[in-house]
Every structure is written in structure tokens, then in C-alpha cells.
Amino acid sequence: MRAGSAAWTDRAAPGGAVFVAPEPEPEGARIRFFTRLGGVSEAPYDSLNVSTRVGDGEAAVSENLSRIRGALEGNTSAWVRQVAGDRVLRVAGSGLAGEGDALVTESPGLPLVVAVADCLPVAVVGEREVAMAHSGWRGTLAGVAGNAVREMDEDPADLRAYIGPGIRECCYEVSEDIAEGFADRFGPEVVSGRNVSLPGSVARDLEDSGVGEVNDLGLCTGCRTDLFYSHRMEGPRTGRNLAAVQRLPRGAG
């Protein structure tokens, strides 16, 4: 495995939705880690919240999703009811795919999305397929990112993974039991005292799965509540950020 060197840039789509993307972007695919900026929701959900399950209004969320769709070539996304597990769903069209925490597709143009507030979004790009995983502490321990890689019908050595904004070791103290679980599963280097590195753990899982290149964008949601929602820092009354990956139709982009 190579450690990729992608940095990140932030940009606003024409409708106003602000996202961060890897720099450089992978060829033939788009990755959009949407921030909390550029939407219409009011505090404490300001402003590009995508969840109605946190107390925000339907009309605001609907407008936010419409702005996000505009930033995804107008395409409607495929999504899952996230349950913090390790199940991967292969999809060919938009809409709710079922219960699970990762999606894989070979359909050009179809965005795969997850909603997060501290949990890591992990995008994987291959020659023909893309995948997106939602990896919080439970999903990370269960190996959801590695499962997504194994569901892809590609040589893992050709895959590039992008670990998006999420809570990092600096802001993520957990119970002794959970910290021990991470050290047992991924090695002592992912734990410091009771602070756990979710990105380090996911990178190890991807490496063990044979992924050719792993890029960690290095953004901490706990440190950057100006850009992202953070459940740990802001409590339950905060929004959810959307993360999206889509393979571009041949000849586009």
C-alpha cells in the first residue's frame, strides 16, 4: 500500500453548497465531502444539514438536499439506513437501498452517499466501480471499509481510498474497553491513552484488505466545527454532513 498524498481544497458548487474534495481528484470520479456551509437551516443546524431526524425542519433539509443534488450533476443519490454495522449493499439505482453502512456501484453518474457527524466517510474509487462507507467506532471495529473493498469486483491493488472529515485522535477519548478493542484489532499505534485514531484504524483495515493507495484528508470534525457538524462537540442537537462519491460517465469530467 502507498500512503496517498492528496490534500484537500474547499469549493462552492453553483447552488452555494460548500464541499471539500481531494486535491488532486481521482481520475474518472468525483468525491464531495459536503461541509455545513451553503445551506438554509438555522442554528443549531446551520446550515447545510441533510437529516430531518435531528430536529431540523423538512423544508430546510429539502432545500439543502436540492442544493447538494445540484453539486452532483443533478443526479439523485443512493443511500442506506445507517445502523453502525458492517453490511455493504450493491446498488444500481437511486433511492433507499436498505439497511447497511456501505454502498458499492458500477453505475456511471450515480452518487453514493452517507450522512455523518464525526463518523468517517470513506470513499473508494476503482477503474469501474466506486464505494462509500460510514465508519464510526462500531463500524470501524466491525471492518465496514474493508468489507466494502471486498464487495468491489476489482483488484484491490488498483483501488484508491479517501478518508474524509471525521473525529480524530485529538478529540476522541473513549472508554478503556473500547480503546482496548481498537488496540487488539488494529495494533497499539492507533491508541494513545484512551484516545483512539479512527482514521488510523480505517487505514489499517484498508491496507489489510490490499487497497493500493490510502489518502487521509486529515480533517477533524471536532477541531473544525466552523466547517463540519460534530456530535461529540455539539451534542445531539446538531446536523449531519453529506459525503458523496460518483463515477463519471465515460467522456465526462
Q: Rule CB under 5 A: which residues touch Zn ion? A: 168, 170-171, 220, 222-223
Of the pair 126, 222, the CB lying nearest Zn ion is at 222
Of the pair 79, 228, the CB lying nearest Zn ion is at 228
Q: How far is the CB of 167 from Zn ion (least distance, A)?
A: 7
Q: How far is the CB of 194 from Zn ion (least distance, A)?
A: 15
Instruction: Give the DSSP letter string of the chain.
Output: -EEP--EEEEEE-TTS-EEEEEESPPTTEEEEEE-S-SS-PPTTSTTT---STTS--HHHHHHHHHHHHHTTTTPPPEEEE--SS--EEEESSSEEEEE-SEEEE--TTPPEEEEESSSEEEEEE-SS-EEEEEE-HHHHHHTHHHHHHHHSSS-GGG-EEEE-SB--GGG-B--HHHHHHHHHHH-GGGEETTEE-HHHHHHHHHHHTT-SEEEE---BTTT-TTTS--HHHH-SSS--EEEEEEEPPTT--
Q: How far is the CB of 165 from Zn ion (least distance, A)?
A: 10
Q: How far is the CB of 243 from Zn ion (least distance, A)?
A: 18
Of the pair 110, 191, the CB lying nearest Zn ion is at 191
Q: How far is the CB of 99 from Zn ion (least distance, A)?
A: 30
Q: How far is the CB of 227 from Zn ion (least distance, A)?
A: 12
Of the pair 79, 172, the CB lying nearest Zn ion is at 172
Of the pair 32, 168, the CB lying nearest Zn ion is at 168
Of the pair 157, 170, the CB lying nearest Zn ion is at 170
